[in-house]
Amino acid sequence: MTERRQVNIAKSARTTVFYIFVIGIAAIILLPVYFIISLSFLSTREAYTYPLPLVPALNTHFELRHGERGYLLSVYDRVEGGYESVLDTKDSKKMSEYMRYQLATPVTTEDLEQQFAKLESQDVVRFSRRRNLLENYQSFFRVSGYKAVPALIRSLQICALTIAISLSVGGMAGYAFARYTFRGKNLLKFSTLFVRMFPGVAIAIPMIKILVGLQFYDRPIGLSLVYSIGNIALTVWITASIFMGIPESLEEAAQVFGATKARAFLRITLPLALPGLAAAAMYSFLGAWNETVSAIILTQFNPTFSVIVYQTVLGAVGQVNLAAAGGMAMALPTVIFTFFIRRYIQQMWGGITI
């Protein structure tokens, strides 16, 4: 009985250590994500308070009293538990702009004038207004100007073209490596990875001359061709592994019943290979969407969304919350794209069931 108890204790200890390890890894992964999401909703003032609030405030509490220069504005500090003076002015427009851009709380000048009038009959006026939680995102697109939306559409076009080129060329090459035997097959397959040994900027600089000659410079098709160079190699290896896992006898059986080789591929093999193609599409999308250095070099008047985010964040010196909003705006399309193809990714992780 004692030995059995010791076995149970050892098993419980291993299980506890395992769960602690898993929870620790999950915390390491999720805490930075939560941090940047929370930071993107904080006002500029909240973003520079210590300790940093874990969640943004839904309302802002104000206090007005007579000051040396006009009206003294104080804001309730959740950390200190009291009101802190932030602005002393008699200009209602200046105070309204401060409330909007620094506190993410829209208050009209007419509303402030009414609060100022109350000070004629009382020493202190306190009021609360609801915060605009999307102020950082609105400021990001306002700072980036009219270029943000066209750049977003342009980046989606580039990603779609990159996926189409990578899957068509890399998918056919992967099928060839999986189904056919020829001299130098393994060496040729391995050599496709050579292009991934060079950084994108090293390829982008000589590609300028080629793209200018083809009249593809500063156009989505030009960037798609450059991005596809590295993605094709990865697609070859992913699709080759998937096609090797699909029995060739299935195609042969379809051909016995009268299907052509092309029809057998389209009706039998291709649907089974969708998980691998979805994984390759995801990597192609992420690579094309997040590439910034090459996009800066290969564009001039038609930048991608990543370039717009980079320029906006670079110009938002001293506003980490605006930078966080730009990062979230950059990450949102990738999350949406991954959400739509998650079913195929899960099938690949779980294996192909025939």
> Residue 25: what pLDDT?
92
Query: Hey, where are the domains in the chain?
Result: 2-45, 57-132, 140-350
Instruction: Give pTM, 2 decimals.
Output: 0.75
Q: How far apart are CA 294 and CA 217, in angstroms?
A: 12
Specify the length of the chain in residues.
Answer: 354
Q: How far apart are CA 354 and CA 352, in angstroms?
A: 6
> Residue 351: what pLDDT?
47
Of 278, 260, 286, 262, residue with least CA distance to 352: 278
Predicted confidence (pLDDT) per residue in 302-338, tens digit: 888 888 888 877 766 667 888 888 888 888 888 888 8
The CATH class of 140-350 is mainly alpha
> Residue 163: what pLDDT?
92
CB 305 within 8 A of CB 149: no
- What the block records as the tokens of 229 is 């160079």
Full pLDDT tens readout for the chain, 354 residues:
566 777 677 778 888 888 999 999 999 988 888 888 888 888 888 888 877 888 888 899 998 888 888 888 999 888 788 888 888 888 889 999 998 888 888 888 898 888 888 888 888 888 899 998 888 888 888 877 777 788 888 999 999 999 999 999 988 888 888 888 888 888 888 888 777 777 767 777 788 888 888 888 888 888 888 888 888 888 888 888 888 888 888 888 888 888 888 888 888 888 888 888 888 888 889 888 888 888 888 888 888 888 888 887 776 666 788 888 888 888 888 888 888 877 766 665 554 443
DSSP SS3 for 244: helix
Any bridge partners for residue 71, and if so which? 66, 89
> Residue 161: what pLDDT?
93
Q: What is the dihedral of CA 308, 311, 312, 316, to 10 degrees?
A: 170
> Residue 248: what pLDDT?
82
